Amino acid sequence: MRPSLASFAAALETPPSGPGAYGIRVAHQAAAIIAVAAMVLDTQSTLAHSYGGILSVVVWVFAVLFAVEYGLRLALAPWAHWAHRDEPWRARWHWATNFHGIVDLAGALPVLTLAVGASPAHAQLYGAAWIVKLVAYAPGLELVGRVLRNARKSMGGLFLGFCMVLIVSATIAYEAEGSVQPDTFGSIPSAMWWAVVTVTTVGYGDAVPVTLVGRVVAAMVMVCGIGMFALWTAILVTGFSYEMRRREFLRTWDLVARVPYFHGLGAGTIADVAQLLRPSDFAAGTVVVRRGQPGDCMYFIVTGEITIDIKPPVTLGPGEFFGELALITGEPRSATVVAKTACELLHLDLADFRQLTARHPDVAKQIEAEASRRRRDGVVRRETLGA
């Protein structure tokens, strides 16, 4: 029975795995989108008057399904691939307290709140949490979370400064404007709204200082707000840039490791090569290089096949490379290369090729040896065709 429960648990994971994972993923995404759309449209009076009954039925059908989904995932947590089989309670607790478990619990809130006496109209509003279920299928949002976690100390320090500016500016505004505008600045909490609007440079205009001191403070607060948000932006942009480079490096490393030509290299050499190579995808029938073009890069084949348009045509597959002759001789491309099937290629620019050959002479020798062999084969082929 355990294997069947394990398969069922894998199908209910977020995102799902195992047989039929793609269909389950699409169905789960569609269910979340349809449920949220029905809940949102049901609050529109004109639509609710005409289709309110249908929309409510759709909302509550999905609400019950999501509540059942939460119960099943909680019950099957001990059979998940990450679970400790000998401690079922620990697996269930681990799942219930992680991000996906909390999201699924929020998705069950409409049924839970209805069970404790809330009206259906108010209970179904908790269905807004269903949209968060799509986070598991959006790698970009996972990247946002990683950036925020990495920058939490810097962001926390700036948030503390933000709070300090708010409190100090609200206090000064209360002192300077409280007697003149008691309705707006009559207390520090009341002046805090003006401080928030001013620091964020939104400037609604519903609270405006009229005294000289108040206007000077407002100007300083606006400048401080611009500086703080500029620092926040710089921190986040730097974090995103680092994570994008890291993700691209890991993807390139994985592709390099799959090329048989690099299997004999050590980890340090592969790391150097991964920093120099750039992945490219080509659809079947796409021209990769054309005869007569400048030879500014060479290519390594990760997956798929390419055809070199010579007589007779030559087909290369995974682990092989092409375009090195133009890099070594400096001559234009001697043949047109077309993707025979969908291909993943790694290309190496001329400057990076020179850097690679300088750092790793053994790699350069292998490439030059292959280039020499191909030149000899080309001479023999031309002589044979001429004869």
CATH of the domain at 173: 1.10.287.70
Query: For the chain, what's the residue count?
Result: 387
- Asked whether residue 8 falls in the same domain as residue 132, the answer is yes
CA dihedral angle for residue 336, residue 341, residue 347, residue 353, rounded to 10 degrees: -60
b/e string for 153-168 if b means 16 or more Cβ within 10 A? Answer: ebbeebeeebeebbee
Report pLDDT for 46.
81
Residue 360 has phi, psi (to 5 degrees) of -130, 85
For residue 375, the model assigns a pLDDT of 65
164 and 213, same domain (yes or no): yes
**Residue 218 sits in the same domain as residue 300:** no
What was the pLDDT predicted at 91?
83
Query: Which pLDDT does position 356 carry in this prediction?
Result: 72
**Considering the domain boundaries, does residue 271 fall inside one?**
no
DSSP 175-205: HHHTTT-HHHHSSHHHHHHHHHHHHTT---S
Q: Which pLDDT score, from 0 to 100, does residue 88 have?
A: 81
Q: Hey, is 36 helix, strand or coil?
A: helix
Query: Looking at the domain assignment, is residue 84 inside a domain?
Result: yes
The pTM for the full model equals: 0.60
Q: Is 289 helix (H, G, I), strand (E, B) or coil?
A: strand
Q: Are residues 23 and 105 in the same domain?
A: yes
- Sequence-distant (6+) residues with CB within 8 A of 198 are 169, 218, 221, 222, 225
Q: Based on the fold, state whether residues 225 and 288 are members of the same structural domain.
A: no
* Of the residues 137, 163, 195, the one at which a domain ends: 137
Give the C-alpha separation, 91 to 78, whole Å.
Answer: 5
Position 2 scores a pLDDT of 46
| 84 in the same domain as 27 | yes
Q: Are residues 23 and 133 in the same domain?
A: yes
* Number of structural domains the chain divides into: 3
State the CB neighbour count (10 A cutoff) for residue 79.
21
pLDDT score, position 298? 81
Domain-located, residue 267: no
Tell me if 193 is assigned to some domain. Answer: yes
User: Does a structural domain hold residue 265?
Assistant: no
CATH code of the domain in which 353 resides: 2.60.120.10
Determine the pLDDT at residue 184: 86
Does residue 28 sit in the same domain as residue 124?
yes
- Answer yes or no: is 260 within a domain: no
* Unique residue bearing structure tokens 């993707």: 339
Where does a domain end: 110, 137, 164? 137
The parent domain of residue 375 ranges over 276-386
Residue 32 and residue 102 in one domain: yes
Residue 287 pairs in a beta bridge with: 338
pLDDT at 173: 92
Q: pLDDT value at position 262?
A: 66
Question: Of 86, 107, 137, which residue constitutes the final position of a domain?
Answer: 137
Do 113 and 157 lie in one domain? The reply is: no
Residues 162 and 63 in one domain: no
274 contacts: CB under 8 Å, gap ≥ 6: 249, 252, 253, 256
Same domain membership, residue 208 and residue 286: no
Q: Is residue 7 part of a domain?
A: yes
Q: Per-residue confidence of the chain (387 residues) as pLDDT tens digits?
A: 445 677 777 777 777 776 677 788 888 889 999 999 999 988 888 887 777 688 889 999 999 999 999 998 888 888 877 776 667 878 888 888 888 889 899 889 999 998 888 888 889 899 998 998 888 787 777 778 788 888 888 888 889 988 999 999 999 999 999 889 998 899 999 899 999 999 988 888 888 899 999 899 999 999 988 998 899 889 988 888 888 777 777 777 776 766 666 666 666 677 777 777 788 888 888 898 888 888 778 888 888 899 988 877 888 888 777 877 767 777 788 788 899 898 888 887 877 777 777 777 776 676 677 667 766 665 434 433 343
Helix or strand (DSSP H, E) at 301 = strand 297-303
91 occurs within a structural domain = yes
